[in-house]
Structure 1
Amino acid sequence: MSLVSHATSERRGENHWLLRFELHLPYSYEALWHAVTTPDGLRGWLAAADVLERHLGGAVTLRWLNTATVASGHVSAWDVERVAEYTLAGLGRIRFHLEAVGTDSTVIRFVNERGGSDEARLDCLAAWHEHFELLEAALSGRPTDWSTWTDSRWAGLRASYASFGQARKAS
C-alpha cells in the first residue's frame, strides 16, 4: 500500500495553482534531505540534476528522464536539512519542507506553485503523486529504472484526480 495520498490544490488567480502534498514517511530526514537535494538522490525518483548548486541563489537544471522535460532556474530557499525550494522556468516553485518525527520518520510538506490550465493542474497532480511513490521506492532501495518507465501509472492517477475533482463539483 502506498504511503502517498491524494494531494490538494487551490486556485491562486486565473490559470495559477498551488498543489500540496503531505507525506509521512518511515525514513530519517537525513535520507529524505539527500533524496531531494543531491543529484544522486533526485535521479532515483524525480529527474537528473544536470546543474545543482546547493545554496540560496544557486543554479538548478533538472532533466526528467521519463519525459525529456528540461527546466532551469535557481534555488529560491535553502535551510539545511529543512527546506529546499527550486524555482524552475515553466514548472514554477517547488518546495520541500522536511520535519523529523523522532529519529526514523519524516513529514514532507510539498508545494508546487505554478501556472497552467485546469487540465495541466490534473496532469501535474498525477505526475507529482507518481514521483512521490517513486521516492518511497527509492528510499526503500529500489531507485527508478527510467528505461522501463511507462505512463500507465500516471494515466491511472490522472483519471483518479479528474474523477475526484468531478465528485467534489457534484457535492
Structure 2
Amino acid sequence: MSLVSHATSERRGENHWLLRFELHLPYAYETLWHALTTPDGLRGWLAAADVLERHLGGAVTLRWLNTGTVASGHVSAWDVERVAEYTVSEHGRIRFHLEAVGTDSTVIRFVNERGGSDEDRLDCLAGWHEHFELLEAALAGRPADWSAWTDARWARLRDAYASFTRVPKAS
C-alpha cells in the first residue's frame, strides 16, 4: 500500500494554485533530507539537478527525466534538515518541510504554489503524486528507471484527481 495519499488544492486567484501533500514516511529525516536536497537523491525520484547550490539564494536547474522539462530558479528557503524550497520556472514555488516523528519516521509537508489553468492543476496533482510514489520506492532502494517510464500511472492519477477535485471559479 502506498504511503502517498491524495493531495488538496486551492485556488489563490485567477490561474494561481496552492497544491499540498502530506506524507508520513518510515524514514529518519536525514534520509529524506538527502533525497530532497542532493543531486543523487533527487535523480532517484524527481529530476536531474543539473545545478543545485545548496544554500539560500543558490541557483537551481532541475531537468525532469520523464518529460524533458527544464526548470531554473533559486533556493528560496533553506533550513538544514528541516526546510528546502526551490522557486523555479515552470513549477513555481516547491517547498518541502520535514518534521521528525521519533527517530525513524518523518512527515513531509509539501506545498507547490504555481500558476496555470485548472487543467494544469490536475496535471500537476497527478505528477507530484506519482513522483512521491517514486520517492517512496527510491527510499526503499528502488530508484526510478527513467528509461522505462511511461505516463500510464500519471494518466490514471489525473483521471482520479479530475473526478473528485472540481474547483469553483474564483469570485
Instruction: Provide the rounded CA distance (Å) in 1 between the counterparts of 2:45 and 2:132.
Output: 8
Q: Runs in 1 of length 4+ with deviation above 4 angstroms?
A: none
Corresponding residue of 2:107: 107
Instruction: Provide the rounded CA distance (Å) in 2 between the counterparts of 1:161 and 1:10.
Output: 13
Instruction: Provide the rounded CA distance (Å) in 1 between the counterparts of 2:2 and 2:160.
Output: 15
How many residues align? The count is 168
Taking only aligned residues, the RMSD between alpha carbons, in angstroms, comes to 0.9
CA positional deviation for 1:19: 0.2
Corresponding residue of 2:74: 74
Instruction: Provide the rounded CA distance (Å) in 1 between the counterparts of 2:31 and 2:146.
Output: 21
Q: Which runs of 5+ in 2 are unaligned?
A: none
Corresponding residue of 2:29: 29
Corresponding residue of 1:145: 145
Question: 1:1-171, aligned counterparts within 5 Å?
Answer: 1-166=1-166
Aligned residues with identical type, % of pairs: 88
Instruction: Provide the rounded CA distance (Å) in 2 between the counterparts of 1:20 and 1:74.
Output: 21
Query: What TM-score, normalized to structure 1?
Result: 0.97
Instruction: Provide the rounded CA distance (Å) in 1 between the counterparts of 2:31 and 2:45.
Output: 13
CA positional deviation for 1:8: 0.2
Instruction: Provide the rounded CA distance (Å) in 1 between the counterparts of 2:148 and 2:104.
Output: 31
Q: Which amino acid aligns with 1:18?
A: L
CA positional deviation for 1:68: 0.2
Q: Which amino acid aligns with 1:119?
A: E
Q: Which amino acid aligns with 1:158?
A: R
CA positional deviation for 1:102: 0.5
SS in 2 for 1:114: strand
Q: Which runs of 5+ in 1 are unaligned?
A: none
